[in-house]
Amino acid sequence: MQKPPFELALHLALSLKCPVRVMDSDAKVRSCVPEFPEKGDPLVTDPAFAASFKPEFLKGEPFLYVGSLAVCYAGLGLGEYALLAGPFVDGRDGSTGKDSAHALLHHASRTSLTVASPASVLHALSLIYVTRTGKDCAVQDILDSVSEPLSFRQEQSRQLARVMGERLGGDIPHDDVRYETSLRGAIAAGDTEGLKRVLSQPQPGERPALAASALRAVKNQALVDLTVISRAAADAGVNAGEALELSAATILLVESADSALRVEALVRDGALRFCALVKKTREQPGALQDELVAAIELYVRQNLHRSFSMEELARTLNFSHDHLMKLYKNVTGRTIMAYARHMRVEAAKVLLVSGRYAGAEIASMVGFSSQSHFIRAFKAETGLTPFKFEVIYEGRPFFNRGGSEGIYNP
């Protein structure tokens, strides 16, 4: 029985400064140098992706795989085992955003990608190949002929044929409003099974073309769908920053997709991930709601001195402003702006009692746009005007601060 080439993988990883795995004949990872978190290794989380390399391993020659994101893997079959280096990206292409997108594509958690030259990795593998077989290896020929594994292309062709068969239902226009309503409803409810039914149910006719190029039209429609999906998740309480990161990673994958099938699969996967985030948020409602209410009230108290909008509050807390308003009203029984008005009036009472400021000054200090607005809000909260409040509770006049003390000139 052949001994696994663990030592060879170690030397290769150290020289290339790139992850190198020992794979067995079933395309399962036996070891990785340096060690990858299991949930962060695309070859563990996506067995179909790992299996797509088996035909290349069987050839027993160095090969290079370059995916749609220009994320690379290079390998060499060694009989019962194989060496596979990657994932890495060519330094000339850059890696910005590709780590999240590559992880998303293969259901893995995000792990930083190594930057390496494909030619250098192939040269290192070719040295092992030449040493073991005595045969030459034309690295440049490999670089000139890289493509996705054949099994991937075959699967894409099969699924594309299925999609085209479903779409050829005549020229009845697609009901976008009904579709989007169903999509939003399933995601907002965190209903994974319901979402799967919405996504898999054949739609009558074709959706409107949003570009002259067929593939570009599909991508543009995918961007529309992802906007609807991410907004539905944010409105349902998913952290806006988390929603934005997932949306951006999915859009990057869509833009790099080379077939309508790939785009459709990415939108489906993105929708299911958003739905899972909503479900997770709903499963822990109490603590999250209390945290958000406390964060909202802290923001209000820290900004009593100025006017602020719900959009500002939402951006600061990274949640949809619709979600924040609905959540706060459900938990406290009043609106956020009602709480802000109450706290402004409470702050104004303290300033009134101090006897040091005129009405217009206090109005400005507690974030009211004018003295008249301040008086109306104060009366709505207390049933008294600021002047009557002072007369009743302090016995000092209010409107003539800075003039003769103790004189009120209405």
**What's the mean pLDDT in 299-328?**
85
Whether 217 and 134 map to the same domain: the answer is no
How many domains does the structure of the chain reveal?
Answer: 4
Whether 111 and 242 map to the same domain: the answer is no
Whether 139 and 238 map to the same domain: the answer is no
Residue range(s) defining the domain that contains residue 111: 6-148
Whether 213 and 268 map to the same domain: the answer is yes
- Model confidence at 107: pLDDT above 90: no
Residue type, 194: G
**What's the mean pLDDT in 163-187?**
63
Predicted confidence at residue 398, as pLDDT, reads 44
The vertex-22 CA angle with 16 and 23, nearest 5°, equals 135
Whether 329 and 358 map to the same domain: the answer is no
Can you count the helices (H) and strands (E) in the chain? 20, 6
Predicted confidence at residue 165, as pLDDT, reads 45
Give the span between the Cα atoms of 219 and 262, in whole angstroms. 10
- Residue 176 maps to a domain: yes
Query: Are 63 and 142 in contact, with CB atoms under 8 Å apart?
Result: yes
Give the span between the Cα atoms of 277 and 366, in whole angstroms. 39
pLDDT 10s digits, 360-397: 889 989 988 888 999 999 999 989 888 888 777 655 54
Give the span between the Cα atoms of 340 and 310, in whole angstroms. 11
Whether 43 and 100 map to the same domain: the answer is yes
- Residue 264 maps to a domain: yes
Query: Are 190 and 236 in contact, with CB atoms under 8 Å apart?
Result: yes
* Band (175; pLDDT cuts 50, 70, 90): low
- Residue 300 maps to a domain: yes
Q: Classify residue 173 by its DSSP letter.
A: B
**For residue 345, what is the domain's CATH number?**
1.10.10.60
Whether 231 and 245 map to the same domain: the answer is yes
- Residue 406 maps to a domain: no
Identify any residues that bridge with 32 across adjacent strands, giving them in sequence order: 21
Predicted confidence at residue 162, as pLDDT, reads 46
- Model confidence at 47: pLDDT above 50: yes
Whether 235 and 362 map to the same domain: the answer is no
- Residue 62 maps to a domain: yes
Q: Name which residue leads in pLDDT, 124 or 288.
A: 124
Span of 114-118, 237-241, 281-285 with lowest mean pLDDT: 281-285
pLDDT 10s digits, 189-206: 888 888 888 887 655 555
- Model confidence at 83: pLDDT above 70: yes
Give the span between the Cα atoms of 128 and 124, in whole angstroms. 7
pLDDT 10s digits, 213-243: 778 888 888 888 888 898 888 888 787 777 7
* Band (286; pLDDT cuts 50, 70, 90): low
Residue-wise DSSP of 310-330: HHHHHHHHTS-HHHHHHHHHH
**What's the mean pLDDT in 72-77?**
92
- Residue 399 maps to a domain: no
Predicted confidence at residue 394, as pLDDT, reads 58
Whether 85 and 24 map to the same domain: the answer is yes
Whether 258 and 346 map to the same domain: the answer is no
- Residue 410 maps to a domain: no
Task: Examine the fold and report which residue of 241, 256, 283 is the final residue of a domain before the chain moves on.
Answer: 283
C-alpha to C-alpha distances, 343 to 27, 329, 392, nearest whole angstrom: 63, 16, 21
Tokens of 143: 């670089």
- Residue 408 maps to a domain: no
C-alpha to C-alpha distances, 395 to 350, 378, 389, 409, nearest whole angstrom: 15, 18, 9, 15
C-alpha to C-alpha distances, 19 to 24, 87, 119, 341, nearest whole angstrom: 16, 7, 16, 58
Whether 273 and 170 map to the same domain: the answer is yes
**For residue 38, what is the domain's CATH number?**
3.30.450
Query: Are 239 and 315 in contact, with CB atoms under 8 Å apart?
Result: no
Task: Examine the fold and report which residue of 249, 264, 283 is the final residue of a domain before the chain moves on.
Answer: 283
C-alpha to C-alpha distances, 404 to 107, 235, 351, nearest whole angstrom: 75, 55, 19
Whether 65 and 137 map to the same domain: the answer is yes
Give the span between the Cα atoms of 137 and 132, in whole angstroms. 12
